[in-house]
Structure 1
């Protein structure tokens, strides 16, 4: 059985190697479809408790940050993102309100777990979600809960925040997945043009860099990879206690 599996895998690798050779794209083959090309990462904080998580797909990007600063924080973020992926928001309608339903599903996942376990009464998470709609005029829909931020960086234009943080000066979350209060996510949309970028940052990155500096870095003409590297360098100098996640995605059509 082992020999068969190894032989089969080697056969697959051979096929993939042939198909992956560089060359002219055959006439009549479809061009690449509009998508989000993303780079991102989490700068691990010094307090030792992981709290950030994110997922990147072709037309959907989401980041979550577990609240509380304990070992339960990452569980809350993972529960939130698991619910988002299961909802498949990039395939579940094109209305802004459809993302409300997705955020509510994530809220229920975190809240239900908290209610079923007496050791997790404070389980909560943020959520920042973007979805690319490939319409005649492509647009980005977004949903936001918590103290993270979503930025729109138009090509050749000035970056600006699409969302408002649901916390004041590092205080407790005013809105969060899993909290006893009713969830009221912020949703919206913005038209996209080739070369536009969108960035998602969690509260740890905002605390380490500041909004003004973050805007300066997004304004620069560097590539998403170079911008992320610069952010990492500056966060390393600050040594943030909390996780700091940054995802930068560019809208491409070819």
Structure 2
């Protein structure tokens, strides 16, 4: 029988969260935006959990065997003998077991979360990820670097090299930042119509976690993205929202600063 959420709120973790780590030593935080969405949700709900960090190879090996799913990804949440994969499905699974709906407090909240998922993984991702995603390569160990190029860049090593080179050019960085701010202006405008500080008003929900997961993974290039995006003068409500999410979730990741790039 699956543990109920009320039981999971005890001090003893009832859940295991499988996450992505860039290096075999497991010394780095997860740079997956989807993993950080689930971490944010668990923090909002106040649920303790045990984190198991895995490399790309271990996800496709150890986790695939344990879960019985050869296409498993992370985040994956284990509850008893059940494995739930995908940040949105995990959010729905958790919310259905909550004493009161929190991650999706209304039907409109669920629809908005779907729209935000499409926006963040589509238009927003395309406009902001080139400011930080290429640096994931620098953090990966050798085996994970090969997987990163093959899967995330579809084997196009030249494209990755061009993206990394662009981040060594301050003019290129500034041009990319202008485009990225135009995308985040959508969030800024939405927040201007809410009581705040969160996307649905006074309480954090999965809608916030969807965007906050991207903030967390972008911190691999914090020296670029924070002053030019999340804390730019043109986006004051976004900055206030980031601060509110840090306070609400306690989730604020940091990475070693890769050298040789423009800041």
Between structures 1 and 2, the one with greater strand share: 1
Q: TM-score, normalised by structure 2?
A: 0.30
Q: TM-score, normalised by structure 1?
A: 0.31
Which has the larger Rg?
1
